[in-house]
Amino acid sequence: MIRSRLFRRTLLGMLVLFGFYALAVSAGSDIFTRRQLMRESEATARAVAQSIAGSSMDSLYGLDPITIQSRIDQYLSVPGVRYALVTASSGDIVAHTFAPVVPEDVRALARSLSDARKADSTFQQYDVDLPDGSAALHCVMPVYEGLGGYVHIGMDRSSLDSHVGHVVRSQQILALVFFCVAAFASWFFLQSISRPLAALTDYARKVAAHEFPAPVEVKSRDEIGTLARVMGFMAADLARFVGGLEAEVKRSTGELRTALGELSAIVGGMGEGLLVVSAEGLVLRSNEAFASLFCLEPFGCPVALDALLPLSGQDDSGLRGVLEDALQSMARGEAARHSGEYPFICGDGVRRWVGCTIEPVTIGGKPCIVCLVQDVTARNEAQQALRDAYDKLEAEVASRTRDLRRANAQLLLENAERRSVEQALRRAEQRYRGIFENAVEGIFQIAPDGMLLRGNPAMAEMFGYSDIESLREVGSMAEAMFAEATSSDVFFHQLEMTGNVSGFEFRARHREDRELWLRVNARRVADAHDATLFYEGFLTDITISHRSRQQLAHQAYHDPLTGLPNRLLFLDHLQLAMQRAARRTDAMFTVLYLDLDRFKIINDSLGHGIGDALLREVACTLRRCVRDVDTVARFGGDEFAILLEDTGNCAGAVRIARRIRESLAQPVNIAGHEVFTTASIGIVLQTRDYLTPEDILRDADTAMYRAKEMGKSRFKVFNARMREDTLRLMALETDLRFAVERGELSLRYHPIVDLEDGSLHGFESLLRWRRGNEDVSPAEFIPVAEDAGLIADIGAFVIEDVCRQVAAWQDTACDCGIVHVNISGRQLMRPGFAQMVDEILRRHGIAGSCLRFEVTESVLVRHGTLAVSVMHQLRELGIRLCLDDFGTGYSSLGYLRRLPVESLKIDRSFVWGMEKDEAGRALVRGILTLGLHLGLEVVAEGVETEEQAVLLRDMGCRYGQGFLYAKPLLSERVPPFVCLREAAVAGYGVSVSTGVA
């Protein structure tokens, strides 16, 4: 029996869907029934609880357990009620139906509900597991929101679960019965359809195998019966068609064998070579003509193309290459018909030419190429011989033709040459006349005696004449052209000597007596005996360019603002003066170098326009103060230089310097502003020993800066000592740049002592420089460091070394007190100074309170609020601040009141000699009074005698510093000094050494 897989899958799918449906219905019924029973149990519990609460209200308020117990016992007969329990508002159990005691879970639940009654005072339910293993639905009803107690009802969950299970099982049995009936009915129905379909399938399979059995008999009158009858008819028609087709195939096969035999005979007997090559490069077929053509031994097919036609050194672009290109094009899908002639080296070593036609074809469903070749060597040789003969004939004809044309052209050329010469002469004359008459440059011919022979209108116009005849009437051109006789003589002399002059420039004589500059290019025209016939040339007006050159030359050597000579021209004049002085013993000159004082303030406050006007006024003033033979120059900015020629003696130069200083001190009114200025002047008198002008200016500049250092508005005469000082400062600056790297800088620590009990208050760090074998004073190298911009690096080195030393002392438990560090104004104003100090403190692990930075009053005057801001930043780091050298600078009491300082130092100049100087004691007393009233510590510097210490202590000064207590100490001598000082203060009779560390 043939089973239908189609209807079997259908039946199986229906069974699976029905099974899922039955399970879903059972699950839904279970959930629905359980919810309904839970609602009924909840309603029963609510009703019982409300009944107990209503009937026992008075007993609950009176807490009558017997009454309450008797009333709750009667509710155990209600279906589903498992137990009842009544609790007071405090959670204590009043009555219950448990025997003998209430389970602990129920008791704990009742107690927890009593504790939470304020949070939730409505009807509640819970699931509770009883000690016997059964489950109960625990319902709670508060009485008067829990104030009168609680009624607890337990509903039996076991009966509920049993009832739900019974209902679900009943439904599942009914569903199973229905399922079985439906499955049997479906199976019977599908069998009635699947049997005839299986028979038809078997019949169709036999027909596909060319078996044509009797038709299938299906007696049904539905679509399946109709399908069976139609398949019978189709099978009969197909049987007749297959029979006819087989007969036709036999006939066609015979004809094909006959055609193939004829084709093989044709291919074998054809004179052209035949080659069939597959896409893989295999020769599938060839004929005897191909093997004979290429002198190949007989071979069998298939054979590789590489083996049949190997490449030779001269055949890489011949037949073999063409076949490979055709195969590659066919592999890319670009195959096309191709024909051509190619060389080939045959097996006998003879090079031949073959004509090749390549056609892409498909044989047996596979792409191939068919190649027909024939030997065209003899034909090509005949054609080449024919071409050679034709080329030779063409060359002979061309040669004869050229000879005839050349002879004819020669005759025509000679005839045309005569006419063209005549025309060229006429055109040249006309062109020359046009150029001559219309040229912008002046063109001339001058006789040896100077008379003008010919000239064009441009020349007449250059000299201010209307036409050339008017210019010719002037007479000799040597006088008419040249404004200076020397230029005329030089021009004509050079013409006679060299025969031509090129680019000669001269100042010409204009009819209206205005400036005229010309450039001339001319030549001398001589006869056969070298006698001068005339001079000819052309003139160009260069007046504008000459003026431009003069203006550029003036700008190159003069200051554009003041019109004075600049540095280049001044150096040139100074060089000439030095050369004159070298030739003449009585020649003496003096150089003055000026720099305006406070010019930057005027420029910044009133503007650059006022500044430029002031510079012009200063230039005029300097011109008025010197002679015409003297040179006044501006070097740029506010710097001027003066060269005094033939001064005679030093007194004359000094007199002129005083005149200049007094004249510049006069007020100048510029744009409504009364402007005052002064000048610092450097003078070089003895100028004979100098070799270059730059050396003189260098020393004059040195003298000028020395004048500025002495207070400005004065002059200073240079001497050899200044040069020595300058060289020494330069050497000092150079050595100072490497002093830190060489380890030449070191610190000394000068103690600060409490004047009352002699105890140690702290130290002041002092910088020392050991330069080779000599000690350089800080008063000498600190200003150099500030001017050279080295003070920031040196200051950072000092702070770093102090912090490192303080950390080392703290590690050895040495209490050195507060260490004072001197801070330069430029160092304090350097951006990021506070951050740099903070990093150093963090790196060495010390507190900022261990340090006290000393700054001078000049820092406040120069930098003002910006310095105060930086001091506040240092104060935030814990670093205390001290005002050093108080009273020696521009003291500002207003700043002192606002400054974040804790102490100030009285300069040693006030302390020195105060025991004998009443005025000095009054100044010290005033500073002490001011400091004490402002709450500041006051330290007196330079205490050298016991009498000074007593006077300071009596005046109220707390701390002192000086050689009386000790000289500056090396860092390793500080701990012993601290120990000795502590012993002396303690009264052990130890004397403290004051020697140098």
Residue 841 tokens, joined: 């403190």
Phi-psi label, residue 530: left if phi above 0, alpha if psi -120 to 50, beta otherwise: left
Residue that has been written with the tokens 């590489």 in this structure: 306
CB proximity list for 24: less than 8 A, separation 6 or greater: none
Q: How far apart are CA 898 and CA 893, in angstroms?
A: 9
Angle at 460 between CA 459 and CA 462, to 5 degrees: 65
The packing angle between helices 65-73 and 5-55, to 10°, is 140
Residue 309 tokens, joined: 């036609």
Amino acid at 463: F
Encode 704-736: b = buried (16+ Cβ within 10 Å), e = exposed. Answer: bbbbbeeeebbbbbbeeebeeebeebeebbebb
Cis, peptide link before residue 457, omega less than 30° from 0 = no
Strands (E), 15-60: none
Instruction: Give the residue extent of every domain in the chain.
Output: 5-168, 214-244, 274-309+316-385, 389-434, 439-548, 558-718, 733-984
Residue 9 tokens, joined: 């899958």
pLDDT at 991: 41
Q: How far apart are CA 311 and CA 309, in angstroms?
A: 7
Which residue, 767, 745, 772, 785, is CA-closest to 968? 767
Neighbours of 800 (CB within 10 A): 16
In this structure, what DSSP letter does residue 77 have?
G
In this structure, what DSSP letter does residue 935 have?
T
Which CATH number fits the domain 733-984, given the four candidates 3.20.20.450, 3.90.1300.10, 3.40.50.720, 3.40.50.1370? 3.20.20.450
Secondary structure (DSSP) of 624-681: HHS-TTSEEEEEETTEEEEEE-S--SHHHHHHHHHHHHHHHTS-EEETTEEE--EEEE
Q: Looking at the domain that runs over 439-548, which CATH code has it been given?
A: 3.30.450.20
Q: Contact, 347 vs 296, CB < 8 A?
A: yes
pLDDT at 39: 80
Q: How far apart are CA 904 and CA 924, in angstroms?
A: 12
Radius of gyration of the chain (CA): 66
Which CATH number fits the domain 558-718, given the four candidates 3.40.50.620, 3.40.50.150, 1.10.10.60, 3.30.70.270? 3.30.70.270
590-597 and 639-644 beta bridge pairing? antiparallel
Strands (E), 474-628: 500-507, 517-526, 532-541, 590-597
pLDDT at 402: 83
Residue 713 tokens, joined: 């508005």
Q: Looking at the domain that runs over 5-168, which CATH code has it been given?
A: 3.30.450.20
**274-309+316-385 and 733-984 agree in CATH topology:** no
Which residue, 45, 69, 56, is CA-closest to 128? 45
Residue 161 tokens, joined: 């679960």
- What pTM does this model have? 0.43
Backbone angles phi, psi at 716, to 5 degrees: -140, 130
Amino acid at 762: G
Phi-psi label, residue 987: left if phi above 0, alpha if psi -120 to 50, beta otherwise: left
Third-level CATH fold of 274-309+316-385 = Beta-Lactamase (3.30.450)
The packing angle between helices 865-876 and 833-844, to 10°, is 20
Amino acid at 559: D
Residue 789 tokens, joined: 């911009």
Ranges of residues in the chain whose predicted pLDDT is under 50 = 1-2, 118-119, 311-317, 988-997
Q: Burial of 642 by CB count in 10 Å (0-12 exposed, 13-18 middle, 19+ buried)? A: buried
pLDDT at 618: 92
Residue 375 tokens, joined: 């030997």
- Chain length of the chain: 997
HSE at residue 766, side-chain half, CA atoms within 13 A, is 19
**Element containing residue 821 per DSSP (H, E):** strand 818-822
Residue 567 tokens, joined: 């540095």
Cis, peptide link before residue 65, omega less than 30° from 0 = no
Q: Is 355 helix (H, G, I), strand (E, B) or coil?
A: strand
